[in-house]
Structure 1
Amino acid sequence: MFEIAVVLLLVVINGVFSLSELAVVSARRPRLRAMAAEGRPGAAAALKLAEDPGRFLSTVQIGITLVGVLAGAFSGSALGGMLSATLLKAGMPANIANPLGFGAVVAVVTYLSIVVGELVPKRLALRNPEGLACLMAPLMRLVSRIAAPAVWLLDTSTTAIFRLLGQGGASEERVTEDDVHSLVAEAEQSGAIEETEREMITGVLRLGDRPVRGIMTPRSDVHWIDLLAPEEETRALLMRTQHSRLAVGEGTVDALIGVVQTRELLAAYLAGQAFDVRAATRPAPVIPDAADALDALDVLRQAEVPVALVHDEYGHFEGIVTPADLLEAITGSFRANEDANEPGAVERDDGTWLLPGWLPADEMADRLRIRLPENRSFHTVAGFLLAAFGRIPSVGEARNILGWRFEVMDLDGRRIDKVLAAPAAAAAVPVPGRPGRGTMA
């Protein structure tokens, strides 16, 4: 019984090392830092082990190897001999009893080592890596100190081999945007966050990748007040507009001088005061269309009136950007009241999608699960198709792109208004905006 107890103890010790190894390696460092800041016992020790993986893994390997050698030797010499003797007493020939006794003991000990010493501890570690890392870290640090000379030798040898292989630099712990998307998707699947929350988090990440041109209201849709227009025309515009702020120009939209808050003009008009648009005009900052959307956010925060005029590199007016445009990039596309009856992306029963031309291209990519090039000149579904066609297409024309067949369903003048996207058997064209050869089907 003593021999069996020793073997079982060695198997359990092997399981402790396996559990500690996977728990510390799988533990998320930001979570360990937060737990250490909260004063969680063992969190600081676990964080130090995670930050020095070479030393920690050497400690674990020494423990596992030593336990494996002891378990093999003890089980073979003690338990194997005992079982062989028992079989001999039962009348089994020696040429069969000896190999059978040792073989049976090795098989049982190997089975226990795999299940109890490896699989169970590792699956347990994956369920709560941070908590178990905090629990086991003090013990592992103690073992590391006791076996310091051997740990130093193994760690130094491993580092030397890495340098010979050209991998001498320490690896950096970097979290990519794809990692964040995967984590958010996993959180949604587990029920930790709702679908709407996941979409908003995705929108925040999209905002950092969009230039101002990709979120602004284009000049064709900008409502503005002409200082040279008759006063009656201006009053009629104020009465029917749904915007709280309007751009102000002199004769042409390319000569904008600022922004006016419509409530100030309407209040003066209703009070019977003088109707002076120029006096009510506030200066508006000008930002380039290639600036980042987050830069526009900083500009709007500091502006007297949160409206910025967008100009291209030649100084031409391209559109305006407001907090509502930034909000739309985060929460998804929604239209003003006059466009309330125009839906966004609509998935149909047959798996196809009806897409409006104004829909941001990255939102389309999220819904269709396709990847667009990072460096692209288009920002909407309409721009996506214009890049694919290389011209303004006609109604009914289609192209296969990235596994989808995009068909132009409707044009509003020269603007692509409605697009039907259907899964295609094969895509033969390169991604618009990406160098490469291909044919358009």
Structure 2
Amino acid sequence: MIVELLTILGLICLNGVLALSEMAIVSARPARLKPMEAKSRGAAAALRLAEHPGRFLSTVQIGITLVGILSGALSGATLGSRLTQLLVARGVDPEWAGNIGVGGVVVAITYVSLIVGELVPKQLALRNPEGLAIAVAPAMTVLSKVAAPVVWVLDRSGKVLLWLLGQRGDSASRVTEEEVHTILAEAHEGGVLEDEEREMMKGVMRLSDRSAKALMTPRRDVEMLDLAMTGPEAVAAMRRIGRPRVPVENRETGEVLGIVTLSDAFNAVSRREALDIRALMQEVPVVSDRADALDVLEILRTAPHSMALVYDEYGHFEGIITSGDVLEAITGAVAANDDDEPAMVTREDGSLLVAGWMPADEFCDRLDLPRDMAGDYDTVAGLVLHQMRRLPGLGEGFTAHGHRFEVLDLDGLRIDKVLVTAV
């Protein structure tokens, strides 16, 4: 009887190993296994098994089915009959003894099988999927080769049934943006990422979704030199603007022709030469307002002054983009054109005072709001316009997604401040 008990326990443990292997290899992340592929045969084997899940799952299922059949046969035919005989010898009615013997053995074996053969191994696999996948992959590879003929039949049969159910394409394991955000949140909670690192990674992901129009400093906020300025007027304007690169505009045509750098102007003044804007003016790249942010970034990397002019499809100047604008998009909107104006301020009552220029995608991420609230607009001011379908008056607002939006300040026809309160 002891030998039979040990045999059944061994089969249950074998079932646990198979269940652990299945869960570990299915749950293991390829991104973590690939860096170890060159140094670890187990990692390479785990990746190969994960590439063909149908074959691997068929192999595991064959093993689990055989173990279950053997365990059932031994428990019912041997242990059940022995327990029945033991009960009869103790004076129990033979009919009751048979029911109790077989039923008791089945219940006990089922309980142990669930705990030792399924639940505990799978929980262990979920806690360390990559490490256990590397450990069990070589043995599972050998098992799959031994059971190859049966695995082939089962794999083909499964694909035929999937084809009949309308699943006629290979399933592609794609990582969604939501999954990446979840991984970042888990890494942050686990102490792997600092607050600033997490926000920067989220900013990089937002950057790929933005256009040049969403990154640029709009024309109304760009201070420029007039091509017709005299030397003293240009020097005074550059002192007032205080920027290392200043665009030059032809006021007669409204066209922005290029830039003048502060270093070139300083060199001319230090040599006591008359400041000639036309002579000092340099060309900079021109991009479309609908260009992708990553394309703009590549242009800025090759541009000598890390600046580009933004034009719309009608040839109108819309604004400028610098490397600082790209950096702000990654690190988050910290200040507006005025260094003293923050993008978002939390007030004492918990409400938020939001600048109209704050990027809409960053605002929606911070408040966990759907990004389509802003439609095709790029700022919080545009979000309000999209929701209200008109230019609101001072004090007007709306309620959406559990928040109340109220316009607190207008700068002419521009929404300057919005009060956001949780409902």
Pairwise TM-score range, normalised by the shorter structure: over 0.9
Report how many residues are paired. Answer: 422
> Which residue identity does 2:12 align to in structure 1?
V
Return 5+ residue gaps in structure 1 as ranges. Answer: 425-441
Work out the percentage of aligned pairs sharing the same amino acid.
Answer: 50
- Could you tell me which residue of structure 1 aligns to residue 123 of structure 2? 123
- Could you tell me which residue of structure 2 aligns to residue 28 of structure 1? 29
Return 5+ residue gaps in structure 2 as ranges. Answer: none
* 1:3, distance to aligned residue in structure 2 (A): 0.8
1:352 aligns with 2:367: no
Comparing 138-147 with 360-369, greater Cα deviation is found at: 138-147
> Which residue identity does 2:280 align to in structure 1?
A
* Aligned counterparts of 2:391 and 2:269: Cα–Cα separation in 1: 45
> Which residue identity does 1:288 align to in structure 2?
S
* 1:334, distance to aligned residue in structure 2 (A): 2.6
- Could you tell me which residue of structure 2 aligns to residue 339 of structure 1? 338
- Could you tell me which residue of structure 1 aligns to residue 420 of structure 2? 421
* Aligned counterparts of 1:335 and 1:233: Cα–Cα separation in 2: 30
Instruction: Report if aligned partners of 2:231, 2:276 keep a CA contact under 8 Å in 1.
Output: no
* 1:398, distance to aligned residue in structure 2 (A): 0.9
* 1:382, distance to aligned residue in structure 2 (A): 0.8
> Which residue identity does 1:407 align to in structure 2?
E
- Could you tell me which residue of structure 2 aligns to residue 379 of structure 1? 378
Residue 41 of structure 2 aligns to a residue whose secondary structure is: coil
Instruction: Report if aligned partners of 2:374, 2:383 keep a CA contact under 8 Å in 1.
Output: no
* 1:32, distance to aligned residue in structure 2 (A): 1.9
* 1:389, distance to aligned residue in structure 2 (A): 2.4
- Could you tell me which residue of structure 2 aligns to residue 399 of structure 1? 398
Instruction: Report if aligned partners of 2:374, 2:386 keep a CA contact under 8 Å in 1.
Output: no
String of CA shifts for 1:349-377, please: whole Å, max 9, x gaps: 44322111010001110111111229932
1:62 aligns with 2:62: yes
The verdict on how the C-alpha distance between 1:187 and 1:289 changes in structure 2, with shifts beyond 3 A counting, is: same
> Which residue identity does 1:21 align to in structure 2?
E
* Aligned counterparts of 1:109 and 1:232: Cα–Cα separation in 2: 97
Instruction: Report if aligned partners of 2:373, 2:383 keep a CA contact under 8 Å in 1.
Output: no
* Aligned counterparts of 1:55 and 1:65: Cα–Cα separation in 2: 15
Scaled by the length of structure 2, the TM-score of the pair is 0.96
Scaled by the length of structure 1, the TM-score of the pair is 0.92
- Could you tell me which residue of structure 2 aligns to residue 274 of structure 1? 274
Residue 209 of structure 1 aligns to a residue whose secondary structure is: coil
* Aligned counterparts of 1:375 and 1:88: Cα–Cα separation in 2: 79
* 1:240, distance to aligned residue in structure 2 (A): 2.5
> Which residue identity does 1:26 align to in structure 2?
S
RMSD (Å), alpha carbons: 1.6
Residue 12 of structure 1 aligns to a residue whose secondary structure is: helix
Aligned ranges 1:258-269 → 2 under 5 Å:
258-269=258-269
String of CA shifts for 1:234-262, please: whole Å, max 9, x gaps: 21122222321110122258221111111
* 1:407, distance to aligned residue in structure 2 (A): 0.2
String of CA shifts for 1:5-57, please: whole Å, max 9, x gaps: 001000000001000000111111222222112x1131111111100111100
* Aligned counterparts of 1:391 and 1:232: Cα–Cα separation in 2: 45
* Aligned counterparts of 1:391 and 1:99: Cα–Cα separation in 2: 79
* Aligned counterparts of 2:230 and 2:392: Cα–Cα separation in 1: 40
Residue 246 of structure 1 aligns to a residue whose secondary structure is: strand
1:201 aligns with 2:208: no
String of CA shifts for 1:301-350, please: whole Å, max 9, x gaps: 222322111111100000001101111110011336x7122122123344
Aligned ranges 1:176-255 → 2 under 5 Å:
176-251=176-251, 254-255=254-255
